[in-house]
Amino acid sequence: MWPSLITKAKEGGLDMIQTYVFWNLHEPQKSQYNFNGRADLVRFIKEIQAQGLYASLRIGPFIEGEWNYGGLPFWLHDVPGIVYRSDNEPFKVHMQNFTTTIVNMVKSENLYASQGGPIILSQIENEYQLVEPAYHEKGPPYVKWAAEMAVGLQTGVPWMMCKQNDAPDPVINTCNGMKCGESFPGPNSSKKPWLWTENWTSRYQAYGEEPYTRSPQDIAFQVALFVARNGTFVNYYMYHGGTNFGRTTSSYVTTSYYDEGPLDEYGLIRQPKWGHLKELHAAIKSCSNPILFGTQFMLSLGERQTGYIYRQKSGECAAFLVNNDDTKTVVVPFQNSSYELSPNSISILPDCKNVAFNTAKINVENNTRSITTGKKFNGSEMWEEFRDIIPTFAQTSKRSNTLLEHMNTTKDMSDYLWYTSMYRHESSNSKAVLKVDSAGHALHAFVNGVLIGSTHGSHKNTRFTLENTIPLNEGNNNISLLSVMVGLPDSGAYLESRVAGLRRVRIHDIQNSKDLTNYSWGYQVGLLGEKLQIYLEQTSSKVQWRPFTSPNPLTWYKTSFDAPAGNESLGLNLGSMGKGEAWVNGQSIGRYWVSFVTSQGSPYQTWYHVPRSFLKPTDNLLVILEEENGSPLGISLDIISTI
């Protein structure tokens, strides 16, 4: 998809493509690097170059970005004595090694502008100022070290630090947010340009938070204001967000990422956002000479109205007329003429006379997403199923006399961790209450192999409690608790010390209350189907698949299909499912969680992107892992377009 996405960005008036560099994608295991396929960073930069655009490389290598573990590879967690993002030698050694590897690889391909390449900016660290106070005396030296380390790599192009007001010279401090036109105090030196590294075109979607849409008028207003105030560079975050395939999202983040960007998740143009910004870019560029070579001065045009004027000695002039009043349309005088300004709007006058663009006036027609049902999978004979094994204490080999922390136990090799125990019930009364406190993301509780309850947290409420009445046999009972993560945390201080998974387990019956927290527990990382990789064609036969009967929890479903004709975008409609993950020809199209709904009762995401490049003409393998009781008979592969 890269060439077409870059082409559409260029057509939209962009000059540069900015990308993060994902440490855990490129170095998933220590000193084992991956730059193949979707991880081919050099190929991506060369594609940008081939289309005549510049590139900005945000190396980080901590990136946040709603990406799993903020881009840090989990193997760092096991480095003795490590404290991430601080004046800590173990972390600095590995951070420098990775940063140097990336810079040297890019240099070897002559991709920096100093070598004739497209990269004109690089970033080190990411929004560190937000967490710096938590590191006390270990924070400021780390900032200084990171800046010196980056500059010492001698790329020949500037380095920047976003949201770091005291970025050490010559590193440039930059702004992130929606309103940098208003809020950015400017660079910390007159020798540095005004850079806006993240202009949020909407917001990422997290489970438990209401959907948010940002208007093109608001985006355009802030861009025009930033440029009027001396802004040199604005990057849209995201212009195209795309899809968090596999297990790459951070905690509670949806698989679809910034679908409300100018280019949506499928790479389709979203109007009027794309077109309105294209017109804005053209208007700004028509003011280039006065902005670059003229003198700026400000002019009061009213109580809440301001003019930013750029004038050259030759007389060439450009003006940005700003109305900061969010309720009133006003008429302002400027150079013997009058100009009507809508509430919260800016008019751009490339010649100080004629209005080329007003941020509040949309001249582009809307388009809407069209979804056409393609292939239905509504016949029970189309599906086969495999019910995953619910392990008992006796079937687990890893043991502990306490509840282990989830992430440190799985090492992020799976979302799933089984906690199993044997509970002896002495009473003839068959009822008791199971109470489980968890810092995971979801929990499924089984007693003697039967699901007795499920619950989950949310993006803002990450701790939760399951409390259910359970049936118990007199004598021994198998307690099997499946803790589930939906991505690792990506932000905040001391990520290496975060905890997840079960924190306390209790059983109350008529006779007593028993705390099982410091009890004998058995553990299994992942599900059997994961371990056997039954989502791959070559290993699918390692289990006994049976004809579909009825929906069941922790069940794998598989079917095959031919690719729909044409080249339109495709989305897998999983509206009939609950929670799990889906694979097409062995490639994960991401986690789904359709049963988690908004306050309006709608799923956060129903359609899941299936890139055409994942498909063969015929006999494509679709495998679904369903944690709950969703039915595959409602699944369809639909055609996504715009009208």
**3 state DSSP class of 387:** strand
Burial class (CB in 10 A: 0-12, 13-18, 19+), 497: exposed
Nearest to 556 by CA among 534, 539, 523: 534
Catalytic site residue from 47, 125, 127, 385 = 127
d(CA 381, CA 562): 16
Q: Give the number of other CB atoms < 10 A from CB of residue 617.
A: 8
Give catalytic status of residue 198 as yes or no. Answer: yes
Taking 3-state DSSP, the helix, strand and coil percentages for the chain, each rounded to the nearest 5, stand at: 25, 35, 45
Which residues have C-beta within 8 Å of that of residue 547, sequence separation ≥ 6? 380, 381, 383, 384, 385
- For residues 371-383, one letter each, b for 16 or more C-beta atoms within 10 angstroms of the residue's C-beta and e for the rest, the string is eeebbebeeeebb
Helix axes 139-151, 89-108, angle to 10 degrees: 20
d(CA 206, CA 253): 4
Catalytic site residue from 64, 132, 198, 628 = 198
d(CA 589, CA 577): 15
Query: Which amino acid is present at 284?
Result: I
d(CA 251, CA 240): 21
Which residues have C-beta within 8 Å of that of residue 259, sequence separation ≥ 6? 202, 205, 241, 265
The phi, psi pair for 107, rounded to 5°, reads -60, -40
Tokens 């993002």, located at residue: 85
Give catalytic status of residue 405 as yes or no. Answer: no
Residue 315 tokens read as 């007389």
d(CA 507, CA 429): 14
Burial class (CB in 10 A: 0-12, 13-18, 19+), 31: exposed
Q: Vertex 102, ends 100 and 107: CA angle to 5°?
A: 90
Let me know: does 159 contact 151? Beta carbons within 8 Å: yes
Beta bridge partners of 302: 305
Which residues have C-beta within 8 Å of that of residue 587, sequence separation ≥ 6? 245, 614
Which residues have C-beta within 8 Å of that of residue 97, sequence separation ≥ 6? none
Rg (CA), the chain: 28
d(CA 92, CA 499): 23
DSSP state at residue 564: P
Beta bridge partners of 330: 341
DSSP 110-176: T-BGGGTSSEEEEEES-SGGGTGGGGGGGHHHHHHHHHHHHHTT--SS-EEEET-TTPPTTSEEEEE
Cis, peptide link before residue 272, omega less than 30° from 0: yes
Catalytic residues, by residue number, are: 127, 198
